[in-house]
Structure 1
Amino acid sequence: MTSSGGAAHDPAAVPRSASRTWATPRPVDLALTLRPLSRGRFDPTMRWVGSGVWRTLRTVDGTATLHLEVDRGAGAVRASAWGAGCDAALDLVPGMVGEGDDDDGFDVSAHPFLHDARRRSPGLRLVRVGLVFEMLVPAILEQKVTTVEARRAWRTLVAQHGEAAPGPAPEEMRVAPSPRAWSLIPSWDWHRAGVDPRRSRTVLAAASVAPGLERTLALGRGGEEIARKIRSVPGVGVWTAAETTQRSHGDPDAVSVGDYHLPALVGWALVGEPVDDDGMLELLEPWRGHRQRVMRLIESSGFAKPKFGPRMTIQDHRAH
């Protein structure tokens, strides 16, 4: 690994910066690996430009902008970061690109669809970004609403209450608000963003215990103890905890039970017909310990279930 860093003569004018390079013995596909971190094309915290990705982060040392790109010829990931939290952001990169993601014992050779999906996605890794609170908030905003509603709310609130991305980030990129900043958002801004009181109360509850959430990272990559601690936040259930630990902890087994679309997707992909939550768990049971890995393979394959049946109605909470 190599690194370089520097500080500007005027810290207010040019943020602190640093860079590092990691050798990657196994191939890494950034698009597939980091896809769960993106909340849509217009997510103000993440932007793809060419073959590289920009991501803003709020680290223990402050805000940071991170740029990642794979150097395939050198078999390495090159990372640059700017801001007070640049070094802390770079410390998160190995987990983000799959370090510690252990797929030993994961065998899909008996299932043609999964076997082919794995063969065609050799660079897929499970992301572990840390930053539990930062991963939890957008999951809360996604509770029981459409993707369109959730992404609009995330984009609106981060733009209004986040901070400008340090360094040479693409225009309009922002760093998500701190726990305190989330707790200070006035009720009318939640309302204008289309977030109902139930979800805003849950974000406030999470903000009040944010340091404790971060301590769960020391417990490993997943498991019931971590999920239980995250579910102890009022308003956070099984689905929200799973959506969080998949990203923050790199949990290879977390299943988003209670998802509106997921059981049908799994059913169609694995057995050619829709199933419910119980049916989904039954289908995934042979890969217990790696059930999230199966979900990521299905997603990376581009498989889509047949387009028929009811859809969730977009609700405009701003109109009430």
Structure 2
Amino acid sequence: MKRKYFVSGLVAVFTAISLSACSNKASDTSTKTYDASQKDNYVLKISENSDLCGAPQQIAVEKGFFKEVGLNYKIVKIGQDTSNLEALNTGKIDASNSLLASLIQPLENGSKLKITTGLHTGCLQILTKDGSITKASDLKGKKIGVTAVAGSPATFAKRVLSDAGIDVSTEKSQVEFVTYESDQLGTVLNKGQVDAIAIGDPTSEILKKEFGFKTLANSATDAPYKDEYCCVAYVSDDIAKKHPAIAAKYTLAMQKAADWVNKHKEETVELQLEKKLVAGNKDTNLISLESYQFIPSYQGAYDAFKSVSSDLQKIGILSDDTDLSALRQNSFLKVKGVE
């Protein structure tokens, strides 16, 4: 009997130790202090960004905000055949900024990243040519041109159409999404091969000027999307776990840069064009940039995640079984001094 009690006691001790170890492991990231004042000489690999709405990162480089917070970094060109998420998951980059809607399904599927702040509102449009299409519900039974069925412009279009009462689920979609190369979208809409296109800025403004297209929906100006954070900054899970100070420095610099852009939009556009960071011209690019709110916010991104993920689940992009509250909680990290 004594041996039995002795063994049971050992089991209890080992069980307690194991549970304690698991508990400590699970709380590794949540208990870290993401403080930018701490030293860390790691060189952060940041994906190159050539988009108009990538202004915060471009300005963080050109105006020295990364250096100001003491961040060692290098900009990595990943090529058109590799997405930011693929590059992040393979360790080619450590950080980037992308449209929030493009991140949520990958996060559901296990992408290892943490969102650290919202950067701005904007930056997608649905364009039409036919004057008979004046509202989203008019697109029922029509064709919409996109560059990718799962891309951010297509996702925005699906949300708009769903809100207008149109079924956009894969099984019963009342709209046909047709894929084209980005430089073909203007031509196919102009020729009537599609009834609308979903596209990002500044290409939207360029095509409107070239072909006379009309804006049917604009995420920067139309409710309820205009107050949602469109683009967010994020770091890999490895950076979040192993280099919390680096995650903090990157986030604070991106917030400072976004705030600078909000106060200097014309100068931002001029710098982007002068440095050949984006395509377009000053007039069309400034029209788009003026419509965005560059008010960096962690809470804004956290709130937007809730509304966007709910829409994505409603239209079938996210599984019905996904716990959206848990997904959101697991997808963010909070940096000291960031609101």
Tell which structure's C-alpha radius of gyration is larger: 2
Q: TM-score, normalised by structure 1?
A: 0.26
Query: Which structure has more RCO (C-alpha within 8 Å, separation ≥ 6)?
Result: 2
Q: TM-score, normalised by structure 2?
A: 0.25
